[in-house]
Chains A and B, each alone.
Chain A
Amino acid sequence: MRRVAWLVPALYILFVLAPIYWLLNMSFKNTNEILGSFTLWPRDFTLENYRKIFTDPTWYGGYLNSLAYVAMNTVLSVVVSLPAAYAFSRYRFLGDKHLFFWLLTNRMAPAAVFALPFFQLYSAIGLFDTRLAVALAHCLFNIPLAVWILEGFMSGVPKELDETAFVDGYPFWRFFLRIFLPTIRSGIGVAAFFCFMFSWVELLLAKTLTSVDAKPIAATMTRTASTSGYELGLLAAAGALTIVPGAFVIYFVRNYIAKGFALGRV
């Protein structure tokens, strides 16, 4: 039984990789080959699709926009969530449990519900079509998640650490920045990873809040699909490139991902 067990994850990984392989396969073909025949690998191997993306500013600009607002959102979410998670893990205060639950309810809100009001809100304050607007909007679901994960990690740190530091005369912020944060650095890594992930994959709000200047790569793709016919090769190449940042990030946190949710409190 145990001897054939490796087959299960192996088959699953095959299933996971098949659509990714097909996307890569398409991205190296020209339009004639894609539409003309069914081929398991590119016969006329071409980098033309990728060349177009890297030379056309509307394409690579989309990547820069996406990376910019994802980075802003990740930093913002983690920085404001750190003190909040500390408060939830160490102190009892008026309405703490309700506040925690209210935060989590925002993780449940369907983005479709908020699309139109978000457009109006961000237009009213003059942030429409800026990277900052998307970074702020994604806080809606990333802050609750970051607080949830960080609170779990912080509660795993014994309270004696705080008490000893305060007895030794450390002021709060010095203790928090110099001693406490380094002890939960893997938790910060996990929270940042999940913020990056959910901001990078979200499209509905990002698309609603931008039109030209801050348009994310995913929106560039959908608009290309509808305007310039169906350039499958180009779309496949653009899609394949969106996998790169995620794969890069996941490699760095591979030993921590599994822990991230496990330590979060339900």
Chain B
Amino acid sequence: MSDRTPNQKAWWLVLPVVVLVAFNAVVPLMTVVNYSVQETFGDNVFFFEGVKWFREVLHSERFRLSLQRQLLFTGLVLAIQLPLGVAIALAMPRKGPWVSVNLVLMAMPLLIPWNVVGAMWNILALPDIGLLGHTLNHLGFDYNYTRQPVAAWATLVAMDVWHWTSLVVLLAYAGLSAIPDAYYQAARIDGASGWAVFRFIQLPKMKRVLTIAVLLRFMDSFNIYTEPIVLTGGGPGNATTLLSIDLVKVALGQFDLGPAAAMSLVYFLIILLLSWVFYTTMTKGEVQ
């Protein structure tokens, strides 16, 4: 974005995008804001309630628990997927016919509809007839993800690792392929260790793509809905009720529009804030 010509007419070029996105973003967002400050008893009769719902959401035990579960889930998947994805990318061949074979096979989970991912893991983890569930029980583990919260969590995290680690691999691999051979030759002449090559050549060169990886994985894991609802339905009990699941329960299950809308806005603000924190910490020290 450096070295651009000032030209206000460029607005005409971005206008279609702005119109389409604004239509989909601003109108629904304003609807949510509208609900968040009102109470309704049906029949389209609304009363102004001010910040009542916001106060209720921020003080509610239920929201706090969902948020904690959400943070735990996002923390776990980021902590597993990033190192694992980078390790796999480092171990992959740099050239030759195996590169495309690897990439095509690894990218498969990314293109499967999210409810199919949930259904797939459901079938895989069934304690009696699923490959994973049957094997674990056969080996002597007492495993049943529909009854045990720990098993449900383990299955959920395993599913997300299966689903999204490939994205980190693709990004990290793209960063690695952009490093010129001369860098490695220089390192070999200097007698640098494998760790030194990683720490001082590969990691800095991957920083940009890893920032994208962290941001995308953070946003998408924080927004996750379809896969857990198909796999565990938020259960057993409320053990895997993440924020989106809880939100849909309040909005469509109980039809509490006001509290649901207030919760939506708080939820959205948390994502914006955390994304901004990640972005600024990871790009700190870079020349803009």
Contacts and interface: CB of A to CB of B under 8 A. Distances in A.
Interface in A229-266: 232, 235-236, 239, 242-243, 245-247, 249-251, 254-255, 257-262, 264-266
17 contacts: A12-B169, A19-B120, A86-B13, A93-B7, A93-B11, A108-B219, A114-B24, A120-B31, A137-B24, A155-B1, A201-B113, A203-B114, A218-B113, A218-B114, A222-B230, A250-B104, A257-B107
A18 interface: yes
Given A90-B5, A121-B27, A197 B123 contact: no
B28 interface: yes
Contact of A143 (B7, B20, B219): B20
B235 to A, nearest CB: 16
Contacts of B239: none
Contact of A12 (B4, B88, B130): B88
Contacts of B134: 38
Given A84-B17, A88-B14, A258-B174, A266 B279 contact: yes
B62 to A, nearest CB: 16
B119 A235 contact: yes
B10 interface: yes
Contact of A203 (B17, B88, B115, B268): B115
Interface stretch (A49-57, A99-107, A180-188): A99-107
Interface residues of A, number: 98
Contact of B123 (A108, A115, A236): A236
B252 A103 contact: no
Given A20-B120, A235-B119, A204 B226 contact: yes
Given A19-B124, A20-B108, A87 B14 contact: yes
Judged by DSSP, the binding face of A is helix
Contacts of A201: 110-114
Contact of B131 (A22, A114, A265): A22
B219 A107 contact: yes
A177 interface: no
A242 B116 contact: yes
Contact of A93 (B6, B100, B119): B6
A200 B111 contact: yes
A171 interface: no
A47 interface: no
A246 B111 contact: yes
Contacts of A99: 14, 18
Interface residues of B, number: 97
Contacts of A38: 128-129, 134
A242 B267 CA distance: 31
A12 B107 CA distance: 12
A34 B134 CA distance: 13
Contacts of B105: 13, 16-17
Interface stretch (B141-149, B183-191, B207-215): B207-215
A204 B24 CA distance: 15
A81 B173 contact: no
B80 interface: no
Nearest to A197: B111
Interface in A198-246: 200-204, 217-218, 221-222, 225, 232, 235-236, 239, 242-243, 245-246
A221 B32 contact: no
A77 to B, nearest CB: 9
B139 interface: no
Contacts of B248: 112, 115
B287 interface: no
A18 B134 CA distance: 14
A76 B17 CA distance: 10
A80 B16 contact: yes
Contacts of B226: 203-204
B1 A246 contact: no
B108 A159 contact: no
B283 interface: yes
A178 interface: no
B169 to A, nearest CB: 8
A23 to B, nearest CB: 5
Contact of A261 (B20, B25, B112, B212): B212
A15 B162 contact: yes
Contact of A246 (B9, B87, B108): B108
B129 A34 contact: yes
